[in-house]
Amino acid sequence: MKVRTQLLLLISVFAIAGCDGSPPNKAIALPVLEAGASGNAEAIVQLADQTCVGRASDAADFGQALEISGWGFERTQSADPANALSLDVWETETAQVVRGELVKGHAYTCLLAVGSEYSPSEDELRQALLIRYGRPDESGIYWEFEGPNGSRYKLDIGGMTEGPYDSSIFVEEWR
């Protein structure tokens, strides 16, 4: 019984360590999005995970994760760190990523918007998010979880929009 109790305690410690204060997942090269292709949702959720979840608070690490993705992002706007309302923007043919500056000392925002030609259906995006983050909250709209760096995250799917971008994932990081 004593060994079993110690084993359960050890498993609990590892589970807590993985959710509280752990670094973000390693950034990896991702499949390039294809116009009209099914399967884009998984790559989009992976990009949101390796940039917006755990890296929004570190501009250099965030930019490096975008570069590693292999999607060819170019920075088109730089935020002013003294202005909480200013934004960093990176763009590529298929997507745009917007990173907000620190708000009120403890919140970062990140938006990944995907070009209309490359956007999966909302159902495909929701399914990819279910696989990555589990079930959304009771409303079925938001995913809330504790993630890297001991931060709390709130993630949701943006509505379909008109213009060059169709679907999006919005992430808030609360420290």
Annotated domain spans of the chain: 2-174
The number of beta carbons lying within 10 Å of the beta carbon of residue 147 is 22
Tens of pLDDT, residues 145-161? 998 888 999 999 986 66
Lowest mean pLDDT among 63-67, 132-136, 158-162: 158-162
Burial label for 26, CB within 10 Å (0-12, 13-18, 19+), is exposed
Per-residue confidence at 21, pLDDT binned at 50, 70, 90? low
| pLDDT of 34 strictly over 90 | yes
Q: Would you say 63 and 79 are in contact if contact means Cβ atoms under 8 Å apart?
A: no
pLDDT band at 22 (very low <50, low <70, confident <90, very high): low
Q: What is the dihedral of CA 114, 119, 121, 126, to 10 degrees?
A: -40
- Condensed to tens digits (0 to 9), the pLDDT of residues 67-104 reads 999 999 999 999 988 888 889 999 999 999 999 988 77
* Length in residues, the chain: 175
Alpha-carbon gap, residue 35 to 3, rounded angstroms: 55
pLDDT at 25: 76
pTM of the model: 0.82
pLDDT attached to residue 104 = 76
Q: Output the DSSP codes for 29-72.
A: --PPP-TT-TTHHHHHHHHHHHHHHHHTT-HHHHHHHHHHHTS-
pLDDT at 9 over 50: no
Per-residue pLDDT at 7 exceeds 80: no
Q: What pLDDT is stored for residue 101 in this prediction?
A: 82
- Determine the Cα–Cα distance for residues 66 and 55; give it in Å rounded to an integer: 10
Provide the mean pLDDT of the chain: 83
